Structure formats: structure tokens, C-alpha cells
């Protein structure tokens, strides 16, 4: 897993980019966020970072000034995310060792390609990522029912402990939590789009005990299945 430092003075931009990075399902995790270059420099002096994704125009210290400092940290790579399609800016960024320059608003597919290029340049082995993709397909095929870690391990012919560790490392989430999240999402879909009774929805998502299903649903969403369905029908989904 590669540690990413996200630097942008606009909070909404950081939230959006974080979401896009997570959606790529590539081995990157945003370990910290900063609102300007000086904060970023202070952070990398004490914490390990593999990649910095930075805006250009920021208060206190802009992205180019940050890049000029970061080039002295040979192990840290840098990517620019900017709303300025200005060739001289791109040239200057490249002179400072910036490896990619993506225009805002950032396109998710373009960001994924850029991150993939980073992996290629690092000589990253795709084996672990390939295994994760296979696991995700198996989970999806098992939906809307349940599937255990051991069942997945048997299908991919790997040790269940290894699968558990790999999944947590690559997805930044426990296997059981991910499966639960997918089952609850399917339950929400059934509650919103069908007239199935709550007991039937529970059965279709692998729950034999309706009380346990309702408790689990409420723990995950904050409302009971009936309350969720009512909110959707009233045009105010929770």
C-alpha cells in the first residue's frame, strides 16, 4: 500500500479526490490532508509518504514552491492537480520533478490511469491486486447472500489468514465489514425498489433471523428497515 498526502486548500476538492482514489481500488491510501504547501512540508519531515497529490494555487505556500522543496526528497513522488491549463506552469512543474499534471475538475478515469502509471514506474507487481479483484468478483457473485472468508479462500486456493491480511492491506477494510456493507446495500435496494416484506428482504440477503437482520441494518444505517423504506417512499431517503 502506498501512502498518499493530499494537499489542497479547498475541503470539497479534498473530499472528492479522496473518494476517487478509494474508488480506483488501487493500492493507495490517503494518510493525511493539508491545506497548503507548508503544512505538507512539515508533515513529510516526520511521516512516511510515497506520493503527494497537490493543487497549485494555495495560500502560504503554493504547489510549485512545494514541488521545488520536495525534489530534494528523492523517495517522494509528486502529482499536480490544477484548474490552470497553462503550459508554462506545466513546464515549471516538470522541471521540479512533478511526474503528472491533471486538470481540474479531476476525472476519475484519468486519475486512475495516472496512479496506474505510477505503479508501472515503481515496478509494482499486479499479483496482489489481481487477487483482490478476483475476491471482489467472488463476493459480488455471492450477493445478495452471505459468503465466508474460508469459502473465498477455497475458491482462490489461498490460505484464509493470508486472504484476510491481504484484503485489509489492499482495501483498508476488513473482509467481514466489506461483505456486510455489500449485503446492507442490497437490502436497501430491495427495500427501496420492491414491495417485499422485511422478512423476505432479510431472507434474500442471507439472514434467517429477522430480528438479527433488523438490528444489523439499524447498526449500519441508523434506522430500521421499515423506517428506511418509509423515508424513501416519502422522498427523503436516510
Q: Is residue 18's pLDDT more than 90?
A: yes
CATH number of residue 175's parent domain:
1.10.10.60
Residues 233 and 137 in one domain: yes
In the structure, what pLDDT confidence band is assigned to residue 123 with cuts at 50, 70 and 90? low
Q: Find out whether 172 and 132 touch, Cβ atoms under 8 Å.
A: no
Model confidence pTM above 0.75: no
pLDDT mean over 72-82 = 91
Residues 18 and 110 in one domain: yes
Q: Is residue 138's pLDDT more than 70?
A: yes
Residues 58 and 153 in one domain: no
Residues 132 and 203 in one domain: yes
- Work out the angle at residue 3's Cα, subtended by the Cα atoms of residues 34 and 31, and round it to the nearest 5 degrees: 45
Residues 111 and 140 in one domain: no
What whole-number distance in Å separates Cα of residue 25 and Cα of residue 191?
Answer: 28
Which of 75-84, 87-96, 121-130 is predicted with the least confidence, judged by mean pLDDT? 121-130
In the structure, what pLDDT confidence band is assigned to residue 124 with cuts at 50, 70 and 90? low
Q: Find out whether 104 and 81 touch, Cβ atoms under 8 Å.
A: yes
In the structure, what pLDDT confidence band is assigned to residue 212 with cuts at 50, 70 and 90? very high
> What's the domain count of the chain?
2
Q: What is the span of the domain harbouring residue 143? A: 128-238
Residues 40 and 116 in one domain: yes
Residues 19 and 105 in one domain: yes
Give DSSP secondary structure letters for 49-99: -SEEEE-SS-SSS-HHHHHHHHTTSTT-EEEEEES---HHHHHHHHHTT--
C-alpha atoms less than 13 angstroms from C-alpha of 97 in its C-beta half-sphere: 16
Q: Find out whether 36 and 52 touch, Cβ atoms under 8 Å.
A: no
Average pLDDT, the chain: 89
CATH number of residue 108's parent domain:
3.40.50.2300
Q: Is residue 76's pLDDT more than 90?
A: yes
Residues 18 and 113 in one domain: yes
Residues 117 and 7 in one domain: yes
Residues 136 and 92 in one domain: no
**Domain boundary at 61, 93, 121, which?**
121
**Domain boundary at 121, 144, 172, which?**
121
**Domain boundary at 69, 101, 121, which?**
121
146 compared with 183, residue with greater pLDDT: 183
122 compared with 202, residue with greater pLDDT: 202
Q: Find out whether 98 and 116 touch, Cβ atoms under 8 Å.
A: no
Residues 159 and 222 in one domain: yes
Residues 86 and 185 in one domain: no
Q: Is residue 238's pLDDT more than 60?
A: no
In the structure, what pLDDT confidence band is assigned to residue 126 with cuts at 50, 70 and 90? low
Of 50, 59, 4, nearest to 31 (Cα)?
4
Q: Left if phi > 0, otherwise alpha if psi is -120 to 50, otherwise beta: which for 206?
A: left
Give all strands (DSSP E) within the chain, no chain letters. 2-7, 28-34, 51-54, 77-82, 100-103
Amino acid at each position: 500500500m502506498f501512502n498518499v498526502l493530499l494537499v489542497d486548500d479547498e475541503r470539497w476538492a479534498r473530499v472528492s479526490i479522496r473518494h476517487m482514489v478509494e474508488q480506483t481500488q488501487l493500492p493507495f491510501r490517503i494518510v493525511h490532508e493539508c491545506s497548503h504547501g507548508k503544512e505538507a512540508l512539515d508533515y513529510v519531515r516526520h511521516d512516511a509518504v510515497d506520493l503527494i497529490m497537490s493543487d497549485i494555487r494555495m495560500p502560504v505556500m503554493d504547489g510549485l514552491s512545494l514541488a521545488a522543496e520536495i525534489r530534494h526528497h528523492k523517495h517522494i513522488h509528486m502529482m499536480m492537480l490544477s484548474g490552470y491549463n497553462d503550459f508554462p506552469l506545466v513546464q515549471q512543474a516538470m522541471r521540479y520533478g512533478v511526474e503528472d499534471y491533471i486538470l481540474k475538475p479531476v476525472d476519475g478515469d484519468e486519475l486512475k490511469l495516472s496512479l496506474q502509471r505510477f505503479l508501472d514506474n515503481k515496478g509494482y507487481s499486479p499479483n496482489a491486486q489481481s487477487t483482490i479483484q478476483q475476491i471482489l468478483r467472488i463476493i459480488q457473485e455471492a450477493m445478495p447472500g452471505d459468503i465466508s472468508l474460508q469459502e473465498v479462500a477455497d475458491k482462490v486456493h489461498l490460505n484464509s489468514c493470508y486472504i484476510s491480511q491481504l484484503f485489509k492491506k489492499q482495501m483498508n477494510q476488513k473482509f467481514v465489514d466489506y461483505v456486510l456493507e455489500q449485503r446492507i446495500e442490497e437490502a436497501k435496494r430491495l427495500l427501496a425498489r420492491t414491495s417485499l416484506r422485511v422478512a423476505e428482504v432479510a431472507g434474500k440477503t442471507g439472514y434467517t433471523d429477522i430480528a438479527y437482520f433488523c438490528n444489523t441494518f439499524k447498526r449500519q444505517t441508523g434506522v430500521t428497515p421499515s423506517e428506511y423504506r418509509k423515508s424513501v417512499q416519502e422522498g427523503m431517503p436516510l
